[in-house]
Amino acid sequence: MIDKLLSRFREPLETSLEDAEDFFREQRQEELREAEKRFKELEHRLEEDLEELKADLEELEGYDDYKDRTVIEDVVDNISRDRQKLLEELELPGHPEELLDALEELLEDFNDLSRKEAAVIKEANLMNEIQEPMTDIQEVRKELEDFLEDEYKVRKTLEQLEELSGQREQLQLEIEERELELEDIDRESVDQAIESNEREVENLLDSGEWQDYQGLQEQLEEARRRKKEQEQELGKAVNRMERGMKKLVYQIKNGDIEFEGDVSVLEDIRDGNTGELVEKPGEVVKAAEDATGVLPMDLLDDASHRKFMDGAEFLMGLPSHHQELMEINDRIEELEEKVDNHSAREKKKELEEEREELEQEIAELEKKRNRLEKEIEEKEKKLSDTEQQIKETLTSSFRRRVVF
């Protein structure tokens, strides 16, 4: 509390985010040197203690039990060899926290005894043989713990600043890379290409070539309309005969009326199969004539009879109807080929495909732009958080206000 009050009256320290790491190192250089020196001392002591322990363990090999108990001698040899192996495999890290972890793991493994081994150690009083180095190692472990709680904090702060400064530098680099990518997005050239495409389409639609293409399309639509009308006329004639033809075919099949013509044609008329009928006009004419010849006057009422005869009259003129329909079909095929292969149609199709590709390119560019802008925003947020952490870490390590 007093330190906080006093810090308000001291001249503030000045630095920048770029220099935060070096500034801390300069301001706390004496403490950093002392911490490094202290750690080296502990590290050196530990190495000596471990060497002494290893030597003591080697001396235990070939242990002679005063009662000549082979079992005890074998167990002692095993204990000695196993613990020496632990020491040989031990690698001492150069970092205080990692070193403490490695040391604690070693002590745990070293003291991990089976019930039989514990009994032998007690019986042979072996702990006295290695007591001094083990005590020293425990002492180093305790001093290392205290070091991490006290003197090492200044080094820990520097490590935090080094990590945060590295993160800050990396984020700045990544933001700069994204911004350069953003600058390289060239939508203007694609927009110009779209405008050029639109002008080409307009010019094409104003050209005589397009007028010719439209004229062919109109002719094609007219031919298709005429074909549809012809087919509808045939359909109407067949529909007028449907009721009477059903009764007539029934009478013929039942043997009530004698009919020498092709009944299947009559069935096509009855069922409205105009597609079948138009392909065999001669057979339809004969069937219509034969049907009117055998149709009993009393089979249908007057209205149905008139409809039947009207329909039959149309079917008797089917050859000319068929000829006209064939000519229309030929004309449709001719016009369809001209329309499909017309140069104006091909040009418009190419321009439409080009426009579609350009619009897809625009969409991809916008997608990339949005992604980059989002990444920049996220990284700037991380950068701001990192810089705030640098400020807080540096400020909390001094008893004076720090101005950035």
Distance between first and last Cα of the chain: 24
pLDDT in tens, 377-403: 999 999 999 999 999 988 888 877 888
User: Would you place residue 66 in the very low, low, confident or very high pLDDT band (cuts 50, 70, 90)?
Assistant: low
Q: What is the pLDDT of residue 209?
A: 92
Distance CA(273)–CA(266), nearest Å, equals: 10
Q: Which residues, 6+ apart, have CB-to-CB distance to 364 below 8 Å?
A: none
Residue 262: phi and psi, rounded to 5, are -90, 105
Give me the percent of the chain exceeding a pLDDT of 90: 42
Q: What is the pLDDT of residue 2?
A: 46
Distance CA(186)–CA(314), nearest Å, equals: 70
Q: 106 pLDDT exceeds 60? A: yes
What is the DSSP track for 182-205?
A: HHH--HHHHHHHHHHHHHHHHHHH
Q: Which two tokens stand for residue 390?
A: 């640098």
Instruction: Give the pLDDT mean for 210-224.
Output: 92
C-alpha gyration radius of the chain: 52
Distance CA(313)–CA(263), nearest Å, equals: 18
Q: Which residue has the higher pLDDT, 259 or 54?
A: 54
* Packing angle, helices 70-89 and 96-110, rounded to 10: 170
Q: Which residues, 6+ apart, have CB-to-CB distance to 307 below 8 Å?
A: 240, 241, 243, 244
Distance CA(19)–CA(162), nearest Å, equals: 11
Q: What is the 3-state secondary structure (H, E, C) of 58-97?
A: HHHCCCCCCCCCHHHHHHHHHHHHHHHHHHHHCCCCCCHH
Calculate the CA 254 to chain-centre distance: 73
Nearest alpha-carbon partner for 402 in 393, 22, 18, 168: 393
Q: Which two tokens stand for residue 243?
A: 């009721």
Q: 23 pLDDT exceeds 60? A: yes
Instruction: Give the pLDDT mean for 337-352.
Output: 92
User: Would you place residue 231 in the very low, low, confident or very high pLDDT band (cuts 50, 70, 90)?
Assistant: confident
Q: 119 pLDDT exceeds 80? A: no
Decide the pairing of beta strands 402-403 and 13-14: parallel
Distance CA(362)–CA(189), nearest Å, equals: 10
Instruction: Give the pLDDT mean for 10-28.
Output: 84
User: Would you place residue 124 in the very low, low, confident or very high pLDDT band (cuts 50, 70, 90)?
Assistant: low
Is pTM, for the whole model, over 0.75? no
* Packing angle, helices 302-316 and 281-294, rounded to 10: 150
* Range among 131-135, 248-252, 279-283, 381-385 with highest mean pLDDT value: 381-385
Q: What is the pLDDT of residue 169?
A: 95
Q: What is the pLDDT of residue 7?
A: 47
* Range among 265-274, 314-323, 353-362 with highest mean pLDDT value: 353-362
Q: Which two tokens stand for residue 320?
A: 């000319």
CB 50 within 8 A of CB 90: yes
pLDDT in tens, 128-157: 666 788 889 999 999 999 999 999 999 999
Q: Which residues, 6+ apart, have CB-to-CB distance to 207 below 8 Å?
A: 344
